[in-house]
Structure 1
């Protein structure tokens, strides 16, 4: 069902729930869950006892001033209990990874870049009343500089600190901790995400119903004006499901293992509307028809996945005619893509949907044209690691039409048609093919992706093709009807009735009658 995804999050590691507990101070390790009702995710860091600390109330601190949206800033805070002394143990406070309160900073964790006693030791009366002097530094106000420049940390002092995370663009309770670095070595052979009917989540679908212009141009000629216009009437219902897993070390910043998946369930109807009264060749290239940012998974300073759904379109055509054409490129799609490709086999299935054809032409002695439109839905996953390494992984669905339209006054069919042995005064052929291919394209500078900023890697998932219409008719003599194999689920008229009366003497009448028969395909 469109809008629903069935997902089983298999146990990556046995153990307790990974949910962070704001009542327990982080000492050496800590977990953080994304507080969101739309997306879900969890992040865990782990290192030596003094490499990871806490400036929340559980860690013995009260925040006096802090910017809720900054990654790098100065925080004013006061030690409220002896628990705060943990921050200064071992190698000292500087270069310690700390958990931040929900309302302080945009990142769950940050590096202590500097700390000093605030010359202003004034405390609000209500906060001062809650502090019971104990230990050496309680009631002391500090100014702490924090950032997410984890590469600046001297790992010889702190020792390595590992991280692991997983996230999804839909709300789900993650019942197991994310994988440790050791456990992540099995990611490439692990079925880390599978489908199970017992775990179903409704995802909000995108509903797109709009007309997007592709081309409109005209030129003044002697006694008339020649013009070409093309557009896609697009109806798309699509559901996008996303997820990622990453492991490595924060100190130093290294990604050891990485896996991302994208699921696309879609019903697509793209109706090409082409009106031409000109000679020549046109090509629009690939242009953006529609684009929207989707909810992603973001652990600021560590790793982020920012998805964009877009629809691209274009057309190439060689024209020698005066005609109108409307034809549907319609299909249903269900596909799952994983990257890197060896994390789990990608799957996909496409089924052609019913297509309609409307075709009319101004009667003349000949009509020879080829039309090749492109409609490409795409999910682009923007990835960022540690704020410095970036990459994209895209799931591209390229759907194409190839339409050959021929009407000849001498009974000789043109190249590319299937009616070369037809005879008669007038002959008409319509040959329209559809093709669909799904590819994963990766590019960027995250080393774990195995690519560099100077190149990209494409993985073909599958391709499919089918004939929409393949019909020919002649006005007199023999008539040949060719019906290409029709994919399951497409209802087609078995053939068309061709005019054969020898009493028809007007070329215009013959052409009009043939076109009426061809057009009736689309309404049957």
Structure 2
């Protein structure tokens, strides 16, 4: 099962959280909604004319009789229990007013009043009747209130604009409620997030082998194939942040800043086994994906992080071989959108790598193998239910190898068992690279347009680069391999030149001891 090897301590943003709001004070013209737990915080503030923002909580003079806690669009049955409820009808009237909902009513914090009417059924439970007052014109009246999140339907000429600011993180931030409302987005000191390494963030652990490639071709008396997989171990922490400024009425985002960071260790062991020749390519494929806890104000704005692992293998081979090599590194990277050079940074350290190579005897071979594995932290943005964009932090690790080899061996079988001798002569090299980049895609009110990519960090290093003879002496240098990625898959497998490979020969692998000794 794909998710069986995942140990993930991220919780949904609202899991175990509580709203740090003052439910004893009614919203009139402005309102805030906070979500706080020990590891993450978010705040949304709306502000407009006094009659444009109201409240249907008990503080606003209303008692909810029936409401579905999981819906954004619904009819709510409620009764006015105090004169404060009349605020809903001020100004342009109840329709198109933005109202705060009780926590047990509706899936969002705020909704638009689409329609209101007096309920034909004015009956009330006795325990609610006892709480009603006689002051006011509509107290004790039961209404049916239709709500939705179609903020574009509001006649802004009657209500006036209603401003919006949102700030949220999955780590503690001081003065959360003041950063957008008092200092403004443009004065936000984004560099302060460079010190978040000391924060105990949730841990993301993946330990699983992912098949990437499996292709075969039928030959005269056997089937030849090429297969590849990544044995992947990732231990990382992920940080996310979001600041948004705009308006709910009319619905628009005017400024946005998105933050994503990852600190951790990555080990991906490429295992490739080939008995067929020719060229085969997977293109970039998704190997693993899981949604992480995000920042969600339903109907207005949501930031939904997803951690995905992509793999890509391309091989051009003309002889049978088996290869296993590690791509291992520690990495720290943080990216911000819109990008700023002083606040987007990355670093990496290559870890020890092991290599195992075996070839069938009596072959002369040249080949190229290009492989990449890309962990990605994608921050999916949805504004006002239908405006969508993505900002992602990508860690593209690449392996590129070139093989030029002449191997020979012979074997005999006797009553007491088998014996083998052999030699190898040639060159073998593997380059590794890590490219960390920020990608933005979608159309978010002109702030994110089409597809853009920003380089954050790049590092390249040699894993192996050695030419050797059968005796282990060094030969001419191997030309540098080229790191490349392919987006389109293709397959052109053929049968090996000799179809007389016997099972005895298949177990006689010639290990390139001279190369390993030189590394």
Same-fold status (TM-score > 0.5): yes
Q: CA deviation at 1:267?
A: 0.7
Out of 270, 286, 289, the residue aligned to residue 268 of structure 2 is 270
The answer as to whether partners of 1:469 and 1:484 remain within 8 angstroms in 2 is no
Out of 199, 216, 219, the residue aligned to residue 218 of structure 1 is 216
Matches within 5 A, 1:115-514: 115-170=116-171, 174-180=175-181, 183-184=183-184, 186-187=186-187, 190-192=188-190, 194-195=192-193, 200-342=198-340, 345-408=343-406, 427-451=425-449, 455-475=450-470, 479-480=474-475
Task: Tell me the secondary structure at the aligned position of residue 128 of structure 2.
Answer: helix
Gaps (5+ residues) in structure 2?
1-7, 10-18, 409-422, 481-504
C-alpha distance 327-125 of structure 1, shift in aligned 2 (>3 A) = same
Whole-Å Cα distance in 2 between the matches of residues 80 and 235 of structure 1? Answer: 59
C-alpha distance 30-324 of structure 1, shift in aligned 2 (>3 A) = same
The superposition leaves residues 74-100 of structure 1 with CA deviations (integer Å, 9 ceiling, x where unpaired) of 100011111111111122111111110
In the alignment, is residue 68 of structure 1 matched against residue 69 of structure 2? yes
TM-score after normalising by structure 2: 0.83
The answer as to whether partners of 2:228 and 2:272 remain within 8 angstroms in 1 is yes
Task: Tell me the secondary structure at the aligned position of residue 45 of structure 2.
Answer: strand
The superposition leaves residues 277-329 of structure 1 with CA deviations (integer Å, 9 ceiling, x where unpaired) of 22101101111111000001001111110111000102111101221110001
C-alpha distance 141-365 of structure 1, shift in aligned 2 (>3 A) = closer
Q: CA deviation at 1:359?
A: 1.0
The answer as to whether partners of 1:429 and 1:471 remain within 8 angstroms in 2 is yes
C-alpha distance 440-130 of structure 1, shift in aligned 2 (>3 A) = same
The answer as to whether partners of 2:434 and 2:460 remain within 8 angstroms in 1 is yes
Whole-Å Cα distance in 1 between the matches of residues 258 and 342 of structure 2? Answer: 10
**Which residue is 2:5 aligned to?**
none
**Which residue is 2:50 aligned to?**
49
Whole-Å Cα distance in 2 between the matches of residues 30 and 112 of structure 1? Answer: 16
Task: Tell me the secondary structure at the aligned position of residue 133 of structure 1.
Answer: coil
Q: Which deviates more, 224-233 or 302-311?
A: 224-233
Give the number of aligned pairs.
463
The superposition leaves residues 248-294 of structure 1 with CA deviations (integer Å, 9 ceiling, x where unpaired) of 11111121110000001121100011111221011011111110000
Whole-Å Cα distance in 2 between the matches of residues 514 and 104 of structure 1? Answer: 68
Q: CA deviation at 1:185?
A: 5.6
The answer as to whether partners of 2:381 and 2:388 remain within 8 angstroms in 1 is yes
Q: CA deviation at 1:221?
A: 2.2
Q: CA deviation at 1:159?
A: 1.1
Q: CA deviation at 1:406?
A: 1.5
The superposition leaves residues 445-481 of structure 1 with CA deviations (integer Å, 9 ceiling, x where unpaired) of 2024241xxx311111121100001111123696338
Q: Which has the higher strand share?
A: 2
The superposition leaves residues 392-418 of structure 1 with CA deviations (integer Å, 9 ceiling, x where unpaired) of 1111111110111211379xxxxxxxx
Whole-Å Cα distance in 2 between the matches of residues 477 and 254 of structure 1? Answer: 68
C-alpha distance 231-171 of structure 1, shift in aligned 2 (>3 A) = same
The answer as to whether partners of 1:275 and 1:324 remain within 8 angstroms in 2 is yes
The superposition leaves residues 35-71 of structure 1 with CA deviations (integer Å, 9 ceiling, x where unpaired) of 6566420100111111111110111110000010111
Whole-Å Cα distance in 2 between the matches of residues 383 and 196 of structure 1? Answer: 23
Task: Tell me the secondary structure at the aligned position of residue 152 of structure 2.
Answer: helix
Whole-Å Cα distance in 2 between the matches of residues 112 and 467 of structure 1? Answer: 63
C-alpha distance 479-277 of structure 1, shift in aligned 2 (>3 A) = same
The answer as to whether partners of 2:20 and 2:36 remain within 8 angstroms in 1 is no
Gaps (5+ residues) in structure 1?
5-17, 411-424, 486-507
Whole-Å Cα distance in 2 between the matches of residues 371 and 172 of structure 1? Answer: 46
**Which residue is 1:504 aligned to?**
none
C-alpha distance 484-33 of structure 1, shift in aligned 2 (>3 A) = farther
Whole-Å Cα distance in 1 between the matches of residues 109 and 473 of structure 2? Answer: 77
**Which residue is 2:33 aligned to?**
32
The answer as to whether partners of 2:357 and 2:511 remain within 8 angstroms in 1 is no
Task: Tell me the secondary structure at the aligned position of residue 194 of structure 1.
Answer: helix
TM-score after normalising by structure 1: 0.83
The answer as to whether partners of 1:40 and 1:173 remain within 8 angstroms in 2 is no
Whole-Å Cα distance in 1 between the matches of residues 434 and 341 of structure 2? Answer: 25
The answer as to whether partners of 2:43 and 2:177 remain within 8 angstroms in 1 is no
The answer as to whether partners of 1:315 and 1:371 remain within 8 angstroms in 2 is yes
Whole-Å Cα distance in 2 between the matches of residues 83 and 52 of structure 1? Answer: 14
Q: CA deviation at 1:209?
A: 0.8
**Which residue is 2:484 aligned to?**
none
Whole-Å Cα distance in 1 between the matches of residues 509 and 139 of structure 2? Answer: 95
**Which residue is 1:500 aligned to?**
none
Q: CA deviation at 1:517?
A: 2.4
